[in-house]
Structure 1
Amino acid sequence: MNKNPLSANFKMGFLGAGQLARMSGLQAFRYGIQVGVFSDRNENEPVQFMTPHSTTGSYDSVDDLAKFAKLCDVLTLENEFIDSAVLRKAQEQSGTNIFPAPDSFAKIENKLIEKRTFENAGIPVTPYKLVKTVTDLKEFGQNYGWPYVLKSSKGGYDGYGNETIQNLEEAKKAFNDLGGHDNHDIVAEAFVDFTHELAVQVARNETGHVVYPCCETVQENHICVAVKSPAPVATSIQQKAQELAVKATEAIDGKGIFAYEFFLTKEGNLLLNESAPRPHNSGHYTIEGCVTSQFENHVRAVMGLPLGSSELRAPAVAMINLLGTDERDTQVDNALEALTASDGHLHVYGKLDSRPGRKMAHYTLLGNDMESTYKKAQSLTDGIRI
């Protein structure tokens, strides 16, 4: 890196312009640097209100990405809806480093490659198979039982791109709906009988790594609706999840911030379900809940700076995702009670349009006891409409 990363002329570029880039961008601004953003959408996105350095183009275009990269001193990812080969060519053409590096990203860029990478590294993963035919769909159900989950290998999020199927007829329909007949890779995953869904974030660069507390994610309809940190599971389980998360990051030689989601089975085993080469919804609680948030360590990691402490600031931290309740221009109603709570923190993402189920904001509450803190956070946010 030629330019001092703490120079006022240093520019960090984000590939993606949603709330994750917005929250990382806010931390970048704390260091007095500039922020650039690349979006593939015509409408204004959350980061684009924050910086004049905004570019619109296609994630499939090496020329578009390279042109943007030349305007920046370093690039990083907000999403994984991009191809590693395109990233690699854009990096070569522009001379601007991208983190996570294209070679690291290539090892987890879709769900099939991801499973194989971690499996080869000796990390337990959810049983899976690439399915191409009706026979494959039938045999997976016979071998692993019904129901099971079908996932689009690339591009799924927040309930999109995956379906839980109960029988062969549902499997055939889901396979078609997910693009299986359009040459999209579809992965079948066994339905894991779990007690908790857990998550761990890891920040890593040439200065070392930090691992965040193991938290629990509460899911409804494939969408994370809340997070509890630390997770209400045995300390030994928390530590094992952290160890596996670090091992997974090392397996891809990752530089940046990474998130890992695990299933804790009824037998007490951990299975790595999915990873993300970026900040993650499960780590939003770290903004107020930890000494250094996932977003600040994202910026530090990419800039090659020493990483900050991931230690919790309170014995219990609860985060509630605030989903859209109405289809309308975005406005937050009935939030006054939540704003008056001691150590309660509201974050609104700046999306212009709300719709039911869309992630629009989150609320974090710090306390001394997880059960009471979580219940209070639920109560404070129950009446909020967006």
Structure 2
Amino acid sequence: MTRLGIFGGGQLAQMLTQAAISLGVETVIFERSADSPAGRLTRAELVGAWEDAALLAAFAQQSDLITLENEFVDAALLAHLEVQGMPVFPSSATLALVQDKLLQKECLCAAGLRVPTFRRVDTPEAVQTAAQELGFPLLLKARRNGYDGYGNVTLRSPDDIAPAWERLTRGGSPLLVEAFVPFVRELAVMVVRGRDGDTRAYPVVETVQHHHICHIVRAPAAISADEAAEATALAVAAVEAVQGVGIFGVELFALADGHMLVNELAPRPHNSGHYTIEACVASQFENHLRAVLGWPLAPTALRTPAAVMVNLLGRRNGSVGRDALRAALTIPGAHIHLYGKREARVGRKMGHITVLGASLAEAEALALQAADLVDV
């Protein structure tokens, strides 16, 4: 039986493990802290710093190939494993390009893809210079380790620069700035690319954010066929530009003129693709496994006219009760996923709900109704 090592043990690794069980694949979880959602699903779990040489060697010894559930693994660790002969997907070269947002943007630009105007900034004075060129508002971003709005600050005046610089550089990451994009909606496309280069895209979806965290995903996005085709082509080209293998989440901005910009890539399963578990012929998790294992890719088509996913974001701080989802189970057609996180925090992703329907409005109404009944 194939043993797939996964860096990380959160909900993405949990759902990868669930898909792996159906395919007869064992998973080996390497997480920095104990009692992870994915770690509870496997007998093979290592806990400790990813940089620990002994643990890293044990991880490699127990795995036939390695993937990841987040982009916070240092690419040098993946390169070390590759030198030892371990297959790693996505590769260290791909991760090095994607996990640094400046390098990612430079790579996409070099491939001729449209992205927000950006500048490297090494000092607060460089931010001021960029603001004179690009104007306010302006987005200041950490080049590494940012997610769900962490690592980003919107600058609205020169007075915002100094405190934002102090806050974002505290984490040790260098920064970049991006021009503010007056988008009309945010879109996302899950793209899966196999080891042989075979590439397939899931439907274009619209994402709705709540305090910079994905809250609602509508599949398919209510856009024209031409807009969907452009978004899909951009997403596929972005993944090919970084020579990705596996599933990638590609976030895009839709502009008023009907064109798109690539916002960011995620080299892993993505929140905007969770709807695929129930709504598509094969989920993003199954197709990621197929891709990294070198197996044939599965179809990515929707099995329903419409699907809406709502994230279950923590509404309070405290432990999760045993009956947290009991009331929501009364809503017919609500597919509820709780991630098994012991503690809820305000804004923390605790799970998600997907509803299939004849229309987006019908599916969204039921999904929101069910989400309101989950006690997290």
- Tell me what 2:57 maps to: 66
Task: For residues 335-369 of structure 1, give each alpha carbon's deviation from its aligned partner in whole angstroms, at most 9, with x where no partner exists.
Answer: 44532333320000011111111000100000011
Q: Distance in 2 between matches of 1:319 and 1:215?
A: 10
Which of 1, 6, 9 does residue 17 from structure 1 map onto?
A: 9
Pairs within 5 Å for 1:194-213: 194-207=183-196, 208-213=198-203
- Tell me what 2:277 maps to: 287
Q: Distance in 2 between matches of 1:283 and 1:62?
A: 34
Q: Distance in 1 between matches of 2:97 and 2:173?
A: 18
Contact in 2 for aligned 1:332/1:385 (Cα 8 Å): no
Contact in 2 for aligned 1:264/1:270 (Cα 8 Å): yes
- Tell me what 2:178 maps to: 189
Q: Distance in 1 between matches of 2:31 and 2:161?
A: 34
Q: Distance in 2 between matches of 1:110 and 1:79?
A: 13
Q: Distance in 2 between matches of 1:63 and 1:97?
A: 19
User: Aligned letter for 1:72?
Assistant: S
Q: Distance in 2 between matches of 1:17 and 1:46?
A: 6
Shift of 1:252: 1.6
Q: Distance in 2 between matches of 1:334 and 1:66?
A: 40
User: Aligned letter for 2:44?
Assistant: H
Does the C-alpha gap of structure 1 residues 135 and 121 become closer, same or farther in structure 2, counting only changes over 3 Å? Answer: same
- Tell me what 2:28 maps to: 36
Pairs within 5 Å for 1:1-386: 7=1, 10-41=2-33, 43-61=34-52, 64-93=55-84, 95-179=85-169, 184-207=173-196, 208-331=198-321, 335-336=325-326, 338-386=328-376
Contact in 2 for aligned 1:153/1:184 (Cα 8 Å): yes
Does the C-alpha gap of structure 1 residues 79 and 105 become closer, same or farther in structure 2, counting only changes over 3 Å? Answer: same
Gaps of 5+ in 1: 1-6
Q: Distance in 2 between matches of 1:168 and 1:133?
A: 14
Deviates more, 1:167-176 or 1:271-280: 167-176
Q: Distance in 2 between matches of 1:69 and 1:161?
A: 31
Q: Distance in 2 between matches of 1:266 and 1:333?
A: 45
Q: Distance in 1 between matches of 2:165 and 2:204?
A: 34
Contact in 2 for aligned 1:137/1:172 (Cα 8 Å): no
Shift of 1:372: 2.5
Does the C-alpha gap of structure 1 residues 115 and 366 become closer, same or farther in structure 2, counting only changes over 3 Å? Answer: same
Identity %: 40
TM-score, reference length from structure 2: 0.95
Q: Distance in 1 between matches of 2:324 and 2:20?
A: 31
Q: Distance in 1 between matches of 2:227 and 2:241?
A: 21
Does the C-alpha gap of structure 1 residues 337 and 331 become closer, same or farther in structure 2, counting only changes over 3 Å? Answer: closer
Q: Distance in 1 between matches of 2:20 and 2:366?
A: 32
Shift of 1:122: 0.7
Contact in 2 for aligned 1:57/1:65 (Cα 8 Å): no
- Tell me what 1:3 maps to: none
Deviates more, 1:221-230 or 1:248-257: 248-257
Q: Distance in 2 between matches of 1:57 and 1:112?
A: 29
Q: Distance in 1 between matches of 2:358 and 2:298?
A: 23
Contact in 1 for aligned 2:190/2:202 (Cα 8 Å): yes
Shift of 1:256: 0.7
May I ask how many residue pairs the two structures share in their alignment?
A: 375
User: Aligned letter for 1:44?
Assistant: D
Shift of 1:62: 5.2
Contact in 1 for aligned 2:353/2:370 (Cα 8 Å): no
Q: Distance in 2 between matches of 1:48 and 1:288?
A: 24
Shift of 1:140: 1.9
Shift of 1:183: 5.4
Shift of 1:64: 3.4
Q: Distance in 2 between matches of 1:235 and 1:380?
A: 31
Return structure 1 stretches of 4+ with deviation > 4 angstroms. none
Deviates more, 1:368-377 or 1:283-292: 368-377
Contact in 2 for aligned 1:225/1:321 (Cα 8 Å): yes
